[in-house]
A and B are shown apart, each in its own frame.
Chain A
Amino acid sequence: MKLLVCIKQVPDLESRFKPDAAGVWYNETDLAFRMNEYDEYAVEQAVQLREKLGEGTELTVLSIGPDRVVEAIKKSLAMGCDNAAHIQDQAASAKDPWQIASIIAAYAKDKAFDIIFTGMQSQDRGSAQVGVTIAEQLGFACTTTIVGFDYVDGTITAKRELEGGIKGVVKLKTPALVTCQLGLNVPRYPTLPNIMKAKKKEIVAIPVADLLTEESLTTTASFHPPAKKGGGIVLEGDVADLVEKVIAILKDKTTVLR
């Protein structure tokens, strides 16, 4: 069997975010990057399946972006992926979900992958479109936001999280693509010996120009923090007056006392 897991390197959520000069992406100076959280669930699930199926199964990890994404690729290799494809693209952050999905589909189309794993969405752009669009372009069965996964004899059984705490169970024939949600699994820490061994695993570098044929369908017009709201109100004076004022404000501006 052939498995593919697609990962994205995103700014660390603990970073300090500032839009770049053009106002369409982050200013990357001093920004720390790490693997998209949802993609960690995807890698863990793919590795678990790889371990279950054993010999004869090949798990490839793919990422699009500049050289820095190799660190996320190496983490995936250390977690248990067999080999990697690094689609080299300095401008990946400016591409829309259609283009990213098209690039991945172009890479995957003649490789006969049986199952593709992606995160549910990225923590930066958050479109949640890439996984489903890859599936559509490849003609794969697809289900999203999975919190449970099993595979037996060409059939995936996936548990999905629905509104109101309802769980849904779907069955898919391979080839199929699943997008992974928080709660699916607990991603392993890569062991140190595996980090060192990952050095020897193959990372195929492919210039994005070899795979990119599509124009973007959407463009980011603006990328900015929310406007600062006015500061809080500071009430001063006698306690009895303050109580009256607070009650008046609560009645007027909130539903607390209604």
Chain B
Amino acid sequence: MFLDLTEEQKLIQDTARDFAKAELEPMAAELDQSDDRTPLMINLKKLAELGFMGLNVKEQYGGTEAGVVAFSVAITEIARACASTAVTLSVNNMVCEVIQAVGNEEQKMAYIPKICSGEYAAGGFGLTESGAGSDPSGMSTQAVKDGDDYILNGSKIFITSAPYAGVFVVWAVTDKDAPKGKGISCFLIEGGTPGLIIGKEEHKMGQHASATNELIFDNCRVPASAMMGRLNDGFRIAVAELTGGRIGIGSLALGVGLAAMDCATRYSTERVQFGQKISNFQALQWMMADGYTELEASRLLLMSAAWRKENGKGFAKEASMAKLFATESANRACYSAMQMLGGYGYTRDYPIERYTRDARITSIYEGTSEIQRLIIAREILRNLT
């Protein structure tokens, strides 16, 4: 068994780390507080030029072909500096991968290179609706055939990068009489298409620099060629592609958790109370020990899931385990880190409060922890019944 990264994976990790430290970390706090996304756009373009938008995408579509392990370590390094940038990267990679997996050649050539090169700052993943969150098969956005076109009506919520996404993967009901989940199809819709309206931006607790908006379809007409994959096969596509996205979000959470623990541990070796460094106190040592142990376990779970996906093995259970454990661990690490800093941790003088806000969503989006447990249990029981 070999647990080390390859030389290429290490170089990608180093590049991500060096870039994050030099370009992202110095502005992460400001991006969190400001409404101006210009610096984020500049960074996304630079990251695209370095090849971070299509890590597991074939070279012929402008991707890097570096694999899923490289994707995971890159997202972790970026997230150590800026979770908002990392989530944009994760979703962009997921959108590229879904188009690569399901799209026809024309669709692949039309959109993947634009996301990989940074011509499109982002791609959008339009699945969630106000009435269809953990249960996406309950969606109500409809696509009705009209001659050679489809007309979409309805709305989506919580869509990452919506204001600056060049293309959206959108799911809509194409057969409302079909059994649940059997009448949904998947479409590729360009930003700026008439009838596609970017709705209100959510005022989130964290990951502020990454925009999260409503998408409204008001008689949005798209050609039938915008359909991706087979008619009424969309739900299966969504389920399959979300699995890969979980590795991305788990990797992001790991990065935030590590950033919090690193900051708090360093602080504990400088802060003096009762005449000594607070790192001398066992109470803090246990927080460090537990925090880093859980994060290391998260890393190994993520590496296992990523390696399985990269090598064509089943990875649904492993990706859910990794996402569940990494995101919950990151939240605990942030909680402990803030405790270690005491009152200072609760102020904006230190980045812990931002890490804590940024980490909180990770156990909610791309499948809540509860949904991950449901998937894990289903995968375990599937082999017994």
Contact = CB atoms under 8 A, between A and B. Distances in A.
Given A70-B7, A74-B8, A189 B66 contact: no
B283 to A, nearest CB: 25
Interface string B171-203: 000000000000000000000000000000000
Interface in A62-86: 70-71, 74-75, 78
Contact of A191 (B7, B8, B51, B55): B51
A199 B14 contact: no
A196 interface: yes
B52 interface: yes
B51 A193 contact: yes
Contacts of A189: 15, 18-19, 50
Contacts of A71: 7, 10-11
Contacts of A19: none
Which of A71, A195, A199 has the largest count of B CB atoms less than 10 A from its CB? A195
Nearest to B46: A189
A58 B303 CA distance: 38
Nearest to B67: A196
A190 interface: yes
Given A70-B7, A71-B7, A192 B12 contact: yes
Interface string B58-81: 010000111000100000000000
Contacts of A194: 51
B18 A195 contact: no
Contact of A199 (B8, B49, B52): B8
A75 B11 contact: yes
Contacts, number: 47
A196 B64 contact: yes
A199 B65 CA distance: 12
Contacts of B8: 74, 195-196, 198-199
Interface in B25-71: 49-52, 55, 59, 64-66, 70
Nearest to B54: A192
Chain B interface helix/strand/loop/mixed: helix
Contacts of B14: 34, 75
Given A34-B14, A75-B14, A192 B7 contact: no
A195 B15 contact: yes
Contact of B12 (A34, A195, A199): A195
Interface string B263-298: 000000000000000000000000000000000000
Nearest to A68: B7
Contacts of B65: 193, 196
A191 B19 CA distance: 11
Contact of B64 (A74, A192, A199): A192
Contacts of B64: 192-193, 196
Interface string B243-258: 0000000000000000
Given A191-B51, A192-B52, A74 B11 contact: yes
Interface in B203-250: none
Contacts of B11: 71, 74-75, 78, 190, 195
Given A192-B64, A196-B64, A74 B7 contact: yes
A194 B14 CA distance: 14
Given A189-B19, A195-B51, A196-B8, 18 more contacts: A71-B7, A71-B10, A71-B11, A78-B11, A189-B15, A190-B11, A191-B50, A192-B12, A192-B15, A192-B55, A192-B66, A192-B70, A193-B51, A193-B64, A194-B51, A196-B65, A198-B8, A199-B8
14 contacts: A34-B14, A71-B7, A71-B10, A74-B11, A78-B11, A191-B49, A191-B51, A192-B66, A192-B70, A193-B59, A193-B65, A195-B66, A196-B65, A198-B8
Interface of B: 7-8, 10-12, 14-15, 18-19, 49-52, 55, 59, 64-66, 70
Interface of A: 34, 70-71, 74-75, 78, 189-196, 198-199
**Considering the complex of A and B, which 5 residue pairs feature the smallest CB-CB distances, nearest first?**
A192-B51, A192-B64, A195-B11, A193-B51, A191-B51
